[in-house]
Amino acid sequence: MAVRHRLIERPPEAVWAVLADGSRYADWVVGTSSSRQKDDRWPQEGSALAYTVSVGPWTGEGETVVRLVEPGRRLELEAKSGPLGTARIAFELRPWGDATLVVVDEHPLRGPGGLLHNTAADALLQLRHRAMLRRLAEVVEREATRGNARVRAK
């Protein structure tokens, strides 16, 4: 199981706004080249988004389903990657003063990823999570800055 955290210098509402926009996942999820909501219910339980992963000349399609949602606090997803299997990815948002502590917890559930799961795989997930949380912070902070600029301009 790979658990990683990052302090994002924005309130939980700003972080949640990005998590709640399924069309934005490709902006911050490492390896995802595009994402789109499969219905207009995201991020309600049972809703899904489709994504494309590109690695060099190889592309693959997948689906992510919301398994648990506590708006503004917690989002648990099941990423389905076809023959590679599935993984549980949980995001927890904790208020931290004026900022948000984001904790991501991921582990494989089914398929080869679950069968071959080991400390080396966790180490790779840690690297991916470090990059993913950095990108999430950049998107959240950029969106919040744009929102503040629009408010000041009015």
CATH number at residue 18: 3.30.530.20
Distances in Å between the Cα of 23 and the Cα atoms of 27, 39, 60, 103, 149 are 9, 11, 17, 21, 23
The number of domains in the chain is 1
Q: Residue 72: which region, alpha, beta or left (left: phi > 0; alpha: psi -120 to 50)?
A: left
Report the pLDDT averaged over residues 4-18: 96
Report the pLDDT averaged over residues 63-71: 96
Question: Considering only CA atoms, which of 63, 95, 85, 77 is closest in space to residue 20?
Answer: 77
Residues 105-150 have pLDDT tens digits of 988 888 766 656 667 666 777 778 799 999 999 999 998 777 654 4
Domain span including residue 34: 2-153
Q: Largest alpha-carbon pair distance within the chain?
A: 56
Residues 21-39 have pLDDT tens digits of 998 999 999 888 889 889 8
Q: What is the pTM of this model?
A: 0.86
